[in-house]
Amino acid sequence: MNVFRIILGLLLVSSVTAYAEECTLSAGASDYAPLTYNDGGNNIIGLDVELVALIAKQANCKVKWQPILPWERVMSGIKTGELTITTSASDTPDRREFSRFLAYRPDSTKVFVRKEDLKKLSDINNLEDLLTKTNFTIGIYIGYHYGSSFERLFADSKNQARFSAIPDSTMSANFEKLQANRVDAVILETVVGLDLIKSAKLEDKIAILGFELDDPGPDAFANIMISKAGDPDSKIFNLLKKSIIEVQNSDAYKQVLKRYYPAN
């Protein structure tokens, strides 16, 4: 009986070890500081990198970050299964055709304006107010998912001329245009906008309007995007789903968020 238990135990350990070795996540991301970016020494760092490390460790998985890629290349890798996961991904119907999504951190999108304009914007409580009560031109980014409230307003043809869109590969350009009075507001993920302001030393020039762009709900969370081709049987999806729930209650997770979201 003791011999049988020893053999059974060895088989179980062997099985767990084999699965741990199989659970390797090929992660891809674009240059999106402070979430994912190259530190100059070919190391991928940032908020998402730190959170994925916590989640993967809890799941007993290894993470191999690929070099920073254009977002289109990341999407191609997810479609083919060359990449297992990417981060900071919006959950959209077209992407669900080739991937699955897991919310892993709070997301927040804000409107950034010149500080000198704050006084005249005191009665602006949402994006619709900004469009109806001002003649502001608003800088946005092509391909960025801003949530249902934005999409409803943007779909109205009378509003479309009010938006000035640029590729997200030129992220800082909208803040340069804001400073040069070529746009009057910029919509961007809060933590990314704050990082751009800090990097450009514009803390005394640019401010955030107080309202959230969208109501709490699915759009209030960033997602890990998991390739269906790279995880056809959903083993990784289920493993990460369980791990995220456990990690989100940990002090380590809360400390990471606190460093990137000082107000939280």
Q: Is the peptide bond before 106 cis (omega within 30 degrees of 0)?
A: no
Specify the pTM: 0.83
Instruction: Give the pLDDT confidence score for residue 218 in this predicted structure.
Output: 60
Beta strands at 109-114 and 99-106: parallel, antiparallel or unpaired: unpaired
Domain boundaries, the chain: 2-106+218-260, 109-208
CATH of 109-208 given 2.40.50.1020, 3.30.450.30, 3.40.190.10, 3.30.450.20: 3.40.190.10
pLDDT along the chain (264 residues), means of 10: 48 43 88 93 94 98 95 96 95 94 92 96 95 96 85 93 89 93 95 92 94 72 96 97 96 94 62
Q: Please state the three-class secondary structure of 99-113 as a single string.
A: EEEEEEEECCEEEEE
Beta strands at 138-142 and 185-189: parallel, antiparallel or unpaired: parallel
Instruction: Give the pLDDT confidence score for residue 159 in this predicted structure.
Output: 95
Instruction: Give the pLDDT confidence score for residue 91 in this predicted structure.
Output: 87
* Burial tier of 217 (Cβ tally within 10 Å: 0-12, 13-18, 19+): exposed
Instruction: Give the pLDDT confidence score for residue 83 in this predicted structure.
Output: 98
Instruction: Give the pLDDT confidence score for residue 221 in this predicted structure.
Output: 86
Instruction: Give the pLDDT confidence score for residue 58 in this predicted structure.
Output: 97
Instruction: Give the pLDDT confidence score for residue 78 in this predicted structure.
Output: 98
Handedness of CA 248, 24, 86, 223 (dihedral sign): negative
Is 109-208 the same fold as 2-106+218-260? yes
Return the CATH superfamily for domain 2-106+218-260: Periplasmic binding protein-like II (3.40.190.10)
